[in-house]
Chain A
Amino acid sequence: MTEETGTIDAAGTTAPSGSAEHTEETPAVSFDADPATYRHWTLDTSGSAETGVAYLRLDIDETGGIVPGYELKMNSYDLGVDIELYDATQRLRFEHPEVRTVVVTSAKDKNFCAGANIRMLAQSSHPWKVNFCKFTNETRNGIEDATANSGQTYLAAVNGTAAGGGYELALACEQILLIDDNSSAVSLPEVPLLGVLPGTGGLTRVIDKRKVRKDRADVFATTSEGMRGKRAVEWKLVDEVVPKRAWDETVAERAATAAAGSSRPADASGVALTPLQREETADGITYEHVKATFDRDRGLVEITVLGPDGGVPESCARVHELGADFWPLAMTRELDDLILRLRANELELGTWLIRTQGDVEDALAFERVIEQHSKDDWLVNEIRHYFKRVLKRLDVTSRSLIALIEPGSCFAGALLELAFACDRQYMLDGTLDEDDSEQGDEAQIMLSASNFGTFPMSNGISRLGSRFYGDDDHVAKLRQETDRRIEAREALELGLVTDAPDDIDWEDEIRIMLEERASLSPDALTGMEANHRFVGPETMESRIFSRLTAWQNWIFVRPNASGPEGALRKYGTGRKAEFDRRRV
């Protein structure tokens, strides 16, 4: 992530001072976007019905930063740019079944993308930087997910210099074509120029995905000008260099080849992702199927996911007809939006209480539709993978997640994954008989096939597999327990919940637990939770979060990067950073 050294306009500017962190004046971030009003991207699907190829062109509006204080020169991006990118990737999957290849390229001459804007990073608070990087990482993982699971292959047509985050964006694509104009290069100049890491998957993907030898990766990541031409191919940094005159043609050819192998359906029509209906107040956000109530005194937010209310579609055709109103899709979109907003805008609500409310049977009926059709229907498949990605968002959310399983809840199958994503699960044993025992049935959960691998975590295994890591026998035993109602005491015995207090204890236990949690160090909690959530094997994806991001976040708070004399602050001032030379 950098802007090219020579061209940055440093004349007469000074580095932002330490007090310039904009925590206070940061506006609430909205994640709404619409291709018609994109400021930074154009999504060109004009030929895709015929060719199966869409073009996603980066054309950043320099004056369109999401917060004031910097110009987005050289196709450098900030959170606002990435919000549009995320929107585009989602729409490509849901609205454009005809798109089989997505060509990511630049509309600007000579600049593919200069990565994250340095001035933006230099002036940003630590939480902003971390949130920004997490979101961009998730979007890039989503791009790879589209390639792997949607038959929608991303191809980077690097038609100018790709530096830092620009190259990292290309790395998220399945293929990288680099224009051979004797000047355009790919580079990761963060270490030599900025004293930080290429933290949006760069270091990881170079070695894990591109399989670049580690010594070469070392050379590459410390060479600010990057690499081009044959050597870039030889080092596997790009797949192909293409002369300028054959550029468009070759890109189209490669795109067509990729499209030919796609599993996307013929003659399908997409589903419009209509704007989310959302009511925001100072005390919460309410969607149709998800609601969040803020409790600022206690530093928590109570999230309730409302299950479907009957109306199980009788056919796949009906699912398509319902489109964005189909409950699993509607609920997932709302939950996704809520997670993003809470993460970006409600830093002090450190605990998320997650409940569901609805009918267990209805929830499972919907899930059966997904299960039956996810292999043969592209839309159902998309919904499944979308819910998977939202669950993963929850997994990497730096908040304490607590599931409360109470009477009237519908933690069944896929929705039960929400509870398993939490750090703890509390299930009420019996009913709260404040209403003279007339409240209804006891709380129940239900396992289904979905809990055994349909929604893997970033470590590649299911949440149950992670929960009972190393105890395959128990997981096998749990497989026998699917599709039946499990009440609190049994859930506790099966290890599916943390605790199952009865009505005598429920209120006190929960209150005390939450107060206790709120009194602990938020940093220690974040670190502890992140360690506990991801057990077992590493994948490229998990390494990006657990290793690259963790190191990056450490470097971000170190004076060598963000101190007044640090590299991030000194960049573009014409002055050199002063490092504390001690290795830590």
Chain B
Amino acid sequence: MSIDYSEKIPNNVDLAGDRKLQRALESWQPNFLNWWKTMGPAVPTEDVYLRTAVDVGKEGWAQFGHVAMEEYRWGVFLAERGDDRRIAFGEQKGEAAWQQVPGEYRADLQRLIVIQGDTEPASVEQQRRLGETAPSLYDLRNLFQVNVEEGRHLWAMVYLLHAFFGRNGREEAEALLHRNSGDLDSPRILGAFNEETPDWLSFFMFTYFTDRDGKYQLGTLKESAFDPLSRTCEFMLKEEAHHMFVGTTGIDRVVTRTCELMREHDTDEIAPHGGVPLDVIQKYVNFHYSVSLDLFGSEQSTNAANYFTAGLKGRWQEERRKDDHVLTEDSAKIDLVRDGVVTQDEVPALLALNSDLRNEYVKDCQSGLKRWNRILEKAGFDQRLYLPHVGFNRHVGLFSDHYVTPAGDLVGKDTWEAKEDCWLPSEGDKVHVQSLMRPVYEPGKIASWIAPPTNGINGKPFEYEYVHLA
């Protein structure tokens, strides 16, 4: 049996010439497809206008066309780079990057890849039923695009496990399909990925805040001394950017629509008029932002320090940093609660790497807030959206034992809980948002609670029939 591997599984890792990898992927692929059918998008479709990566170059990474989703060609791509890459940080700074997994770091690297890999299919599972309430075909298509690309990111991690981690790696690749989001017996590894994405507002928030955490995690792995991981993540970052675009513009459009309704009805209370009130948007921001901060782990972490020193995981834009990239002598400030006040503490820089990454993330998140506030400003409203304090609603890290308000004040448990419904989506808010979720499958039409996009996909108009439902 001869299979045209480059046709079936687009790749730039010489799959056709790598019998070992072929055999590993061949036994994995049917299980993946099976997983996709049972855990992937629930809405039956004939085909979807999707972007497929068939190469890493400008021409190849974004080829558009209607594709039956189960025939989507999930590929394996590593960013192209010279062979002379050097390790940019840690104890082995300046040495040649690794083309193979050093046995000494097998366990750690495998763990990092498995954790990253576990999040990719998890979000597909979380978003499985969203298609049933899509506000437009355009949005439905974007959801599916995100889904297939999360699937491809799973492939990317599986490729690494198959190609470099032997039998152990294969077993871990298999397990990535057996853990399922929200499954009581066999849940996804990270807590945030076991929550269902119940509605489209959550989906936009998720793609804005939680996928952005993914971007930063990938950014640190892109610096890895393990070159195949580094190159894989670099290419994934390209696709990740699109997911965040879906989130950013999605929230843009919700805010825009909210402004329209507020003006039209001359009230902030636009719920009865089929919109999402601004304060509910803020609560969703509060929730998704704080949950995503938890994904960075504890502010002070010896694991992160070990990974850095070993060269497994760098900092965001490591090579642009102006320090010695070893950090054994440096210190850094971390946020924490001491003696009943929110303050900062100076700790060895190596121990504060999670905090460092989180700070980069927070800065990046701010830009979205600016965008949405500009919409409010243009529409002539004084209200503004904001990011809550980093200590707010945290369940991981140095703030997890404390009750911090969105403004950053330390309060008692009772006070905090009494105000919880003002800060986080209440049952009523959720019920309301849920009530707005009615599918709109007619080309060119859109749901009441969201504005249409300013542009379509790949130069196509909004009215284009992006999805043919089955």
Chain A bound to chain B:
yes
A515-538 Cβ-contact flags toward B at 8 Å (1 or 0) = 111110000000000000000000
Question: A515 vs B23: C-alpha distance in the bound complex, in angstroms?
Answer: 25
Which residue from chain A places its CB closest to the CB of B22 in the assembled complex?
A: A504
Q: Within 8 Å of chain B (Cβ to Cβ): is A512?
A: yes
CB contact under 8 A between A516 and B104, given known A504-B20, A504-B23: yes
Which residue of chain A lies nearest to B106 when distances are taken between CB atoms in the complex? A512
Most-contacted residue by chain B among A512, A514, A517, A518 (CB, 10 A): A512
Contact A515 B103 (CB under 8 A): yes
Say whether A508 contacts B104, CB under 8 Å. Answer: no
B100 near A511 with CB under 8 A, answer: yes
Closest to A519 in B: B104
Q: Which residues of A contact B392 (CB under 8 A)?
A: none
B24 within 8 A of A: yes
- Chain A positions 486 through 513: 1 when the CB is less than 8 Å from some CB of chain B, otherwise 0: 0000000000000101011100110111
Query: Which residues 197-229 of B sit at the A interface, judged by CB distance below 8 A?
Result: none
A519–B167 CB distance below 8 A: no
Q: Is the CB of B167 within 8 A of A514?
A: no
CA distance A470 to B100 in the complex (A): 41
Given the complex, which residues of B lie within 8 Å of A508, measured CB to CB?
164-166
Cβ–Cβ < 8 Å partners of B23 in chain A: 504
Question: Which residues does chain B contribute within 8 Å of A517, judged by CB atoms?
Answer: 103
B102 touches A515 (CB 8 A): yes
Interface centre among B103, B104, B106, B165, by most chain A C-beta atoms within 10 angstroms, is B103
Which chain B residues numbered 82 to 121 have a C-beta less than 8 Å away from chain A?
100-104, 106-107
Q: Of B101, B103, B165, which is within 8 A of A514 by CB?
A: B103
**Partner pick for B106 among A503, A505, A516, CB 8 A cutoff:** A516
A512–B103 touching, CB < 8 Å: yes
> How many angstroms between the C-alpha atoms of A71 and B332 in the bound complex?
60
Contacts of A501 in B (CB 8 A): 166-167
User: Which residues of the partner chain B approach A504 to less than 8 Å between Cβ atoms?
Assistant: 20, 23-24
- When distances are taken between beta carbons in the complex, the residues of chain B under 8 Å from A509 are 166-168
Contact A512 B101 (CB under 8 A): yes
A516 and chain B: residue at smallest CB distance: B103
- What total of A-B pairs shows CB separation below 8 Å? 38
Interface residues of A in 245-286 (CB under 8 A from B): none
**Min distance, Cβ B231 to any Cβ of chain A, angstroms:** 19
Q: How far does the alpha carbon of A516 sit from the alpha carbon of B105 in the complex, in Å?
A: 7
A contacts with B: majority SS: helix
- A side interface size, CB within 8 A: 16
A149 to B170, CA, bound (A): 51
Name the A residues within 8 Å of B166 (CB-CB).
Answer: 501, 505, 508-509, 512
User: Once bound together, how far apart are the Cα atoms of A511 and B101, in whole Å?
Assistant: 9
Which residues of the other chain, A, contact B167 by a CB distance below 8 angstroms?
Answer: 499, 501, 505, 509
What bracket does the count of chain B residues touching chain A fall in? 10 to 19
Q: Which residues of B contact A515 (CB under 8 A)?
A: 102-104, 106
In the complex, what residue of chain B is closest to A503 when comparing beta carbons? B20
A513:B20 contact, CB within 8 angstroms: no
Instruction: Looking at the assembled complex, report how far the CB atom of A511 sits from the nearest CB atom of chain B, in whole angstroms.
Output: 7
| Bound CA span A305–B263, Å | 88
Question: When chains A and B are docked, how far (Å) is the Cα of A505 from the Cα of B165?
Answer: 8
A534 to B166, CA, bound (A): 31
Q: Is the CB of A519 within 8 A of B103?
A: yes
> What B residues does A519 contact at CB under 8 A?
103-104
User: Which residues of B sit under 8 angstroms from A513, Cβ to Cβ?
Assistant: 103
In the assembly, what is the distance between CA of A503 and CA of B22, in Å? Answer: 13
Contacts of B100 in A (CB 8 A): 511
Complex formed: what's the CA distance from A499 to B171 in Å?
14
Docked Cα-Cα span, A505 to B107, in Å, equals: 16
- Chain A 20-55, CB-CB to B under 8 Å as 1, else 0, gives 000000000000000000000000000000000000
Contact with A along B11-40 (1 / 0, CB 8 A): 000000000100110000000000000000
CA distance A502 to B465 in the complex (A): 49
Cα–Cα distance between A512 and B107 once the two chains are bound (Å): 10
Residues of B close to A514: CB separation below 8 A: 103
> Chain A residues near B24 (CB, 8 Å)?
504
Report the nearest B residue to A511, measured CB to CB: B103
Q: Complex: how many Å from CA A508 to CA B103?
A: 9
> What is the chain B residue whose CB lies nearest that of A500?
B167
Q: Which residue of B lies closest to A298 (CB)?
A: B103
Residues of B within 8 Å of A503, CB to CB, are: 20
How far, in angstroms, from A352 to B413 measured CA to CA in the complex?
Answer: 60
Cα A177 to Cα B107 with chains together (Å)? 60
Q: Type the 1/0 row for B163-198, where 1 means its CB is closer than 8 Å to any CB of A.
A: 011111010000000000000000000000000000
Query: Would you give the 0/1 interface string for A311-327, flagging 1 where the beta carbon is closer than 8 Å to chain B?
Result: 00000000000000000
Nearest-neighbour CB distance to chain B for A430, whole angstroms, equals 12
A512→B165 CA distance, assembly (Å): 8
Complex Cα–Cα for A518 and B104 (A): 8
Residue on A with the closest CB to B102?
A515
| B170 contacts across to A, CB distance below 8 A | 505
Contact with A along B156-168 (1 / 0, CB 8 A): 0000000011111
Q: Smallest CB–CB gap between A498 and chain B, Å? A: 12
Tell me, rounded to whole Å, the shortest Cβ–Cβ distance linking A428 to chain B.
13
B103 and A518 contact, CB distance less than 8 A: yes
For B421-447 the 0/1 string (1 means CB < 8 A from A) is 000000000000000000000000000
Compute how far the CA of A499 lies from the CA of B107 in the bound complex, rounded to whole angstroms: 18
Query: Which residues on A sit within 8 Å (CB–CB) of B20?
Result: 503-504
Q: How far is the CB of A521 from chain B (nearest CB, A)?
A: 12
Taking the closest CB of chain A, its distance from the CB of B21, in whole angstroms, is 9
Q: List B residues at the A interface (Cβ < 8 Å).
A: 20, 23-24, 100-104, 106-107, 164-168, 170
Can you sample 8 A-B contacts with CB below 8 Å?
A501-B166, A501-B167, A503-B20, A508-B166, A512-B106, A515-B103, A515-B104, A518-B103
The 7 closest A-B pairs by CB, nearest first: A515-B103, A519-B104, A516-B103, A508-B166, A509-B166, A512-B103, A505-B166
A505-B170, A509-B168, A519-B103 known, 11 other contacts, Cβ within 8 Å: A501-B166, A503-B20, A504-B20, A504-B24, A505-B167, A509-B167, A512-B101, A512-B106, A515-B102, A515-B104, A519-B104
